[in-house]
Structure 1
Amino acid sequence: MYAILDIETTGGKYNEEGITEIAIYKFDGHKVVDQFISLVNPERDIQPFVVNLTGINNNMLRNAPKFYEVAKRIVEITDDCIVVAHNAQFDYRILCTEFRRLGFEYIRPTLCTVELAKDLIPDQPSYSLGKLVRSLGIPVTDRHRASGDAIATVKLFKMLLDKDTQKSIIQKSIKLTPKHQLEPKHLNILSDLPSVTGVYYIHNAEGDIIYIGKSNNIKKRINQHFTNSNRKSKKIQAAVHAVTYEATGSELVALLKESEEIKRVKPILNRALRRTTFTHALYSFKDENGYINLKIDVSDGRKKPITTFSNRESGKSFITKAVEEYSLCQKLTGLYKTKTSCFNYDIKACEGACIQKEPAESYNKRVEALITKNSYSNKNMVIIDRGRDIDEHSAILVENGVFRGIGFFNLNYQINNIEVLESIITPMQNNRDTQHIIQSYLRRNKRLKVILF
Structure 2
Amino acid sequence: MYAIVDIETTGGQPAQDRITEIAIFVHDGEKIIDQFSSLVNPGRQIPAFITQLTGITNDMVSDAPKFHEVARRIVEITEGCVFVAHNVRFDYSFLKKEFGDLGYNYSRKTLCTVRLSRSLIPGQPSYSLGKLCKNIGIPLEGRHRAAGDAHATTLLFDKLLKITQESEDLPHGQDTSHTLARVDALAPAGKKPSPKRVAAVAAAIKTALLPPLVSPELVASLPQATGVYYFHNEAGEIIYVGKSINIFKRIQQHFAIDVKSRKSLEFKNSIADITWELTGSELVALLYESHLIKHLKPAYNRAQRRSVFPAGIYLRTNEDGYKVLAYGRADARNMEIPIIALGNQYKAQGFLYHKVAKYNLCQKLCGLYKTQGPCFDYQVHRCQGACVGQEPPETYNARVDEAIDSIRYEHESFVVIGPGRTEQEKTIVLVENGYYRGFGYVDETFTARRIQDFRDAIKPYSDNKDTQQIIRQYLRTKRKGERVKVFA
- TM-score band, normalised by the shorter chain? 0.3 to 0.5
Q: Tell me the TM-score normalised to structure 1 length.
A: 0.42
Q: Tell me the TM-score normalised to structure 2 length.
A: 0.40
Q: Which has the larger radius of gyration?
A: 2
